[in-house]
Amino acid sequence: MQWRALVLGLVLLRLGLHAVLWLVFGLGPSMGFYQRFPLSFGFQRLRDPDGSGPVGPPGGPAWLHRARRGTEGRLESPPEPGPVPGPGVCGPAHWGYALGGGGCGPDEYERRYSGAFPPQLRAQMRDLARGMFVFGYDNYMAHAFPQDELNPIYCRGRGPDRGDPSNLNINDVLGNYSLTLVDALDTLAIMGNSSEFQKAVKLVINTVSFDKDSTVQVFEATIRVLGSLLSAHRIITDSKQPFGDMTIEDYDNELLYMAHDLAVRLLPAFENTKTGIPYPRVNLKTGVPPDSNNETCTAGAGSLLVEFGILSRLLGDSTFEWVARRAVKALWNLRSNDTGLLGNVVNIQTGHWVGKQSGLGAGLDSFYEYLLKSYILFGEKEDLEMFNAAYQSIQNYLRRGREACNEGEGDPPLYVNVNMFSGQLMNTWIDSLQAFFPGLQVLIGDVEDAICLHAFYYAIWKRYGALPERYNWQLQAPDVLFYPLRPELVESTYLLYQATKNPFYLHVGMDILQSLEKYTKVKCGYATLHHVIDKSKEDRMESFFLSETCKYLYLLFDEENPVHKSGTRYMFTTEGHIISVDKRLRELPWKEFFSEDGERDQEEKFVHRPKSQELRVINSSSNCNRVPDERRYSLPLKSIYMRQIDQMVGLI
């Protein structure tokens, strides 16, 4: 019996030591999967925006609590708020300190984050976001058009690197087709600039051609160019014209024809592959290059369905949706039987996984995104079934830490990179593309987890004034130091604000805006940060800065924008292009062309690949209401006051 008493005594001693650490320092040793990750979140009690009391239940430190999740994942009401913490709460775990204010006590947090965001300040931030776009766009038009991108430091244009075909960082994206102008079309419309939108559309129609000897990545050409052409076409032909008069005199569906022309030039990527998974690159004149790589990433091959599906349904030609859907299903069928996970790089001929890493970032991100968004647009139940299964596997194998974001013992949750077959941790870094995931969680209503994950990425932003391309959560340091003006954190911030209406996210947006103005603005635009610590720059402004980053920042502060007020349901593509969710996109206009043996069956969406039909435009000028059970990211959900968003201790 003595050994039992000894063990019990040791256990009680350890618990006592932990209690002393919590009481004296507000911290304790980590017990979770990343014990060498000394950045603890130190969540403190947050007050309601009206200042009525702290948001969080009594009975211990506020980071131990959050709203309970009931059956089927529905959120239940949180317990009644507890007493206000005493004035002695301060130090590096406190909001005011962690977020850069250096203050103590709840008043500092209240002053900076919990109060209402004044309308005047909101208008100022909206105008700043618009000005940011205008400054980049005008300088592109003055110094770079008709080339693809702007070099904002030396005020020059940039096109494909003809001297070095292996420079894929440039050549995958730049096709010598005025990329930045094309990519920015719907941003002009959303900001209500009808005159410049009309001018830009006419420029695209009159000057842009895809008959170019350019080898581009199928994925990049699809999301940046094809998606933008389709979005602008829908805006022009919308009978409601919610953004103002964006009609083009004598418009004859030219943008839709251009989208068709580009898509036809991308189709050779889907030919001569044993799996149906497309080649990663095509030459717009000659097709797949003879020396083409047989390896492609999952996101690149499996994130084409939204744009290709829209094109098919507008034209009444199933070819494009068919090849994109076949690629998605081919990838899906290669997932691990044990974990349900997919890898990040696959051989298109053998179906062998070359890259076995499964995560939420580069190589996989938009694959998950488009499973859900394809269902929202087209209503095909198999897309939703695949997404739900994928999301469950993500929760089972990628999510580490305690079960609840702000409740229970252990470390706060984090999504890591694992081996697709075993679920074992492969490395200790996350990349900036993963910051899109909270926004995707908003789309499916998993708002509480989205709040928690967003806080992690925002904490990193607060430390550097940007998101490093890779961040090592174990070493607390960037692994890859550049920041190319990516939009993912801004996108999630915008979607979380639409879901919660909590002014905290307006403060986050203001912080991001001010960081971009301070660290990235140069003579002729906004430049990539080469090094997030010393803030050295690279002479490049990628097109997504105008098509996504500026757009989401603007919409965050423009509460009266037609996107939020028009009554039309909208969805954004992975490149941020706006698409009205129209009942017509849920119809299959090519059904009449199928013979009996060309109908659907259980194994394939279509038994036989249909022949490309003569170009036929489906009237898309009216927007219809969505099916009632569909979710929309901008649908205001019940406001969920954040009781757990805090920074990692010692970040500032």
**Could you give the CA distance from residue 600 to residue 608 in angstroms, rounded to a whole number?**
9
> Which pLDDT value is given to residue 195?
97
Exposure string of 577-600, with b = 16+ CB inside 10 Å and e = fewer, is: bbbbbbebbbebbbeeebeeeeee
> Which pLDDT value is given to residue 311?
97
**Who wins on pLDDT, 87 or 199?**
199
**Could you give the CA distance from residue 434 to residue 436 in angstroms, rounded to a whole number?**
5
The token duo for 115 is 């109060």
Strands 295-297 and 345-347: antiparallel
As beta bridge partners, residue 627 has: none
CB 294 within 8 A of CB 281: no
- The model's confidence at residue 169, banded by pLDDT at 50, 70 and 90, is very high
What is the average pLDDT across 257-274? 97
Q: What integer best gives the mean pLDDT of the chain?
A: 80
Of the candidates 20, 81, 88, 75, the one whose C-alpha atom is nearest the C-alpha of residue 53 is 81
- Measured CA to CA in angstroms, residue 97 lies from 28, 54, 79, 93, 652 at distances of 19, 18, 28, 7, 8
pLDDT, tens only, 518-571 = 999 999 999 999 999 999 999 999 999 999 999 999 999 999 999 998 777 999
Q: Residue 216 pLDDT > 90, yes or no?
A: yes
Q: Residue 624 pLDDT > 50, yes or no?
A: no
> Which pLDDT value is given to residue 566?
78
Measured N-to-C along each axis, helices 488-500 and 447-464 cross at an angle, to the nearest 10 degrees, of 140
Q: Residue 148 pLDDT > 80, yes or no?
A: yes
> Which pLDDT value is given to residue 406?
73
CB 483 within 8 A of CB 433: no
> Which pLDDT value is given to residue 4?
53
110 in active site = no
Question: What are the backbone dihedrals phi and psi of residue 537, each rounded to the nearest 5 degrees, phi first?
Answer: -120, 160
The answer for 402, left when phi > 0, alpha when psi is -120 to 50, beta otherwise, is beta
- The model's confidence at residue 5, banded by pLDDT at 50, 70 and 90, is low
What is the average pLDDT across 503-527? 97
What is the average pLDDT across 193-215? 97
- The model's confidence at residue 590, banded by pLDDT at 50, 70 and 90, is confident
Which one is catalytic: 108, 365, 491, 542? Answer: 365
Exposure string of 610-629, with b = 16+ CB inside 10 Å and e = fewer, is: beeeeeeebebeebeebeee
The number of residues in the chain equals 652
**Who wins on pLDDT, 166 or 14?**
166
542 in active site = no
**Who wins on pLDDT, 603 or 402?**
402
How many separate helices (H) and strands (E) can be counted in the chain? 23, 22
The string of DSSP codes covering 553-617 is HHHHH-TTSHHHHSS--EEE-TT--EEE--GGGGS-TTGGG--GGGS--SSSSSSSPPPPPPP-P
Which one is catalytic: 183, 380, 448, 488? Answer: 488
Q: Residue 604 pLDDT > 90, yes or no?
A: no
Q: Residue 433 pLDDT > 90, yes or no?
A: yes
What is the average pLDDT across 171-175? 95
**Could you give the CA distance from residue 511 to residue 309 in angstroms, rounded to a whole number?**
37
Of the candidates 190, 198, 302, 314, the one whose C-alpha atom is nearest the C-alpha of residue 248 is 198
CB 402 within 8 A of CB 416: no
Cα 248–Cα 250–Cα 253 angle in degrees, nearest 5: 75
Which one is catalytic: 220, 383, 449, 491? Answer: 220
81 prior amide bond cis, ω within 30: no
pLDDT, tens only, 36-82 = 333 333 333 223 333 333 333 222 222 222 222 333 333 233 333 33
Of the candidates 589, 575, 547, the one whose C-alpha atom is nearest the C-alpha of residue 310 is 589
- The model's confidence at residue 101, banded by pLDDT at 50, 70 and 90, is very low
Residue with tokens 């030609």, as numbered in its chain = 317
Which of 220-229, 331-340, 393-402 shows the lowest per-residue confidence on average (mean pLDDT)? 393-402
Alpha carbons within 13 A on the beta-carbon side of 203: 19
> Which pLDDT value is given to residue 403?
82
220 in active site = yes
> Which pLDDT value is given to residue 116?
80
Which one is catalytic: 321, 369, 448, 469? Answer: 469
What is the average pLDDT across 502-508? 96
> What is the reported pTM?
0.78
> Which pLDDT value is given to residue 103?
38
Burial class (CB within 10 angstroms; exposed 0-12, middle 13-18, buried 19+) of 560: exposed
Given CA atoms 183, 187, 193, 194 in this order, what sign does their dihedral have? positive
- Measured CA to CA in angstroms, residue 22 lies from 13, 121, 409, 607, 643 at distances of 14, 39, 13, 63, 19
Which of 297-306, 322-331, 582-591, 628-637 shows the lowest per-residue confidence on average (mean pLDDT)? 628-637
| DSSP category for residue 31 | -
**Could you give the CA distance from residue 184 to residue 545 in angstroms, rounded to a whole number?**
9
Query: Which segments within 18-96 are labelled E, that is strand?
Result: 46-47, 54-55
| DSSP category for residue 353 | E
Neighbours of 40 (CB within 10 A): 20
Per residue, the 3-state secondary structure of 364-431, as one string, reads: CHHHHHHHHHHHHHHCCHHHHHHHHHHHHHHHHHHEECCCECCECCCCCCEECCEECCCCCECCCEEE
469 in active site = yes
